[in-house]
Every structure is written in C-alpha cells, then in structure tokens.
C-alpha cells in the first residue's frame, strides 16, 4: 500500500506529460489553439502533483526529475511548437521554437541543481509556457508575439527573484 501512496503524485505528473503529448499531436494536425487548452490541463496536473506529494510526505528525487521532464514537454516544447505552427514568419518563429524550450530546460536544470526556498530564480517554465499559449489566442502580430516569447525565454534564465505564492 505504501508503494501505491508513494507513486500517487506521479500519476498527476504523468497526466501532465500525457496532456503535453496529446497537445503535440493536435499541433501536428494543425489544431494549435486547442493544444493550448491542454497546456492549461497540464498546469493543473503540475499544480496538484507537488501539493499531493508534499501533503502525503512522499517527495523524492524520482518524482522531482519526472516532473521536470514533463514540464519541458508541456510548457517548453508545446508552446514553442504551437507558436511556430501558427506563425507566418518562419525565421523569427524558428528562433522561438529553438530558444524557448532551451531556456526552459536551462531554468529547470538550474532549479534541480540549486533549489531555492521561498522564491523562484527566473520565471518558472509553467508561467512562461502558459503566457506563450495565451498569446496564441490574441490577434496575430507575429513580431510582437515573438518579442514577448523571447522576453519570456530570457526571464526564465534570468537571476530575477520571484516570490513563491
């Protein structure tokens, strides 16, 4: 029974990852805006996996690593690919497609090696990914959206401190 309780938060992490994978399938099928809705579900699953793990006192390295891997897909690759798919300007959207998930991966790696208490160092990938997805629902000003996407990428790798809620 203890093993089931220990794995329970990982079910939410895997649901986060599953939402990201289905979102990728939607993007490939030119349904990028619908994919962004699945990113919202990923965010909910991401919120609950940590809360459940802490409440059950079953946090462990495996769960933390799995969470980061799910996050890079759901909040790094999916938003960047959705941006690329909906863009008409392929050079600048290709930059976003490359730089955004790389920045997210760097931010997650920094968090894994230098965890912080009470604050985030750099914009969390979840917030950056959700913001980029939100941009896709606004009128199509590709250059403005690309500048915001690149700013989000920079904020993820910045040393800026953001207080945890």
Q: Which two tokens stand for residue 12?
A: 């939410």
Cα–Cα separations (whole angstroms), residue 81 to 49, 61, 110, 114, 165: 25, 29, 23, 28, 29
Give domain limits for the chain.
2-163
CA distance 145 to 121: 24
What's the CATH number for 2-163?
Answer: 1.20.120.1760
What is the H or E stretch that residue 120 is in? strand 119-121
pTM strictly above 0.85: yes
- Mean per-residue pLDDT over the chain, rounded: 93
CA end-to-end span of the chain: 32
**pLDDT per position as a tens digit, 151-162:** 999 999 999 999
Report how far Cα 132 is from the mean position of its chain's Cα atoms.
10
Is the predicted pLDDT of residue 50 greater than 70, yes or no? yes
pLDDT band at 1 (very low <50, low <70, confident <90, very high): low
What is the H or E stretch that residue 64 is in? helix 61-71
Report how far Cα 123 is from the mean position of its chain's Cα atoms.
11
CA distance 107 to 52: 23
Q: Which two tokens stand for residue 85?
A: 């798919």
**pLDDT per position as a tens digit, 127-149:** 999 999 999 999 877 789 999 99
């Amino acid at each position: 029974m203890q093993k089931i309780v220990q794995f329970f938060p990982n079910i939410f992490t895997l649901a986060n990852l599953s939402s990201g994978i289905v979102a990728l399938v939607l993007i490939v099928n030119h349904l990028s805006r619908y994919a962004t809705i699945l990113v919202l579900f990923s965010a909910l699953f991401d919120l609950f996996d940590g809360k459940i793990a802490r409440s059950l006192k079953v946090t462990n390295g495996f769960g933390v690593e799995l969470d980061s891997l799910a996050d890079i897909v759901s909040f790094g690759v999916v938003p960047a690919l959705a941006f690329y798919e909906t863009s008409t300007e392929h050079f600048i959207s290709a930059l976003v497609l490359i730089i955004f998930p790389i920045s997210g991966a760097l931010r997650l790696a920094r968090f894994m090696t230098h965890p912080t208490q009470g604050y985030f160092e750099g914009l969390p990938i979840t917030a950056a990914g959700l913001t980029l997805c939100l941009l896709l629902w606004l009128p199509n000003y590709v250059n403005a959206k690309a500048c915001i996407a690149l700013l989000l990428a920079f904020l993820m790798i910045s040393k800026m401190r953001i207080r945890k809620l």
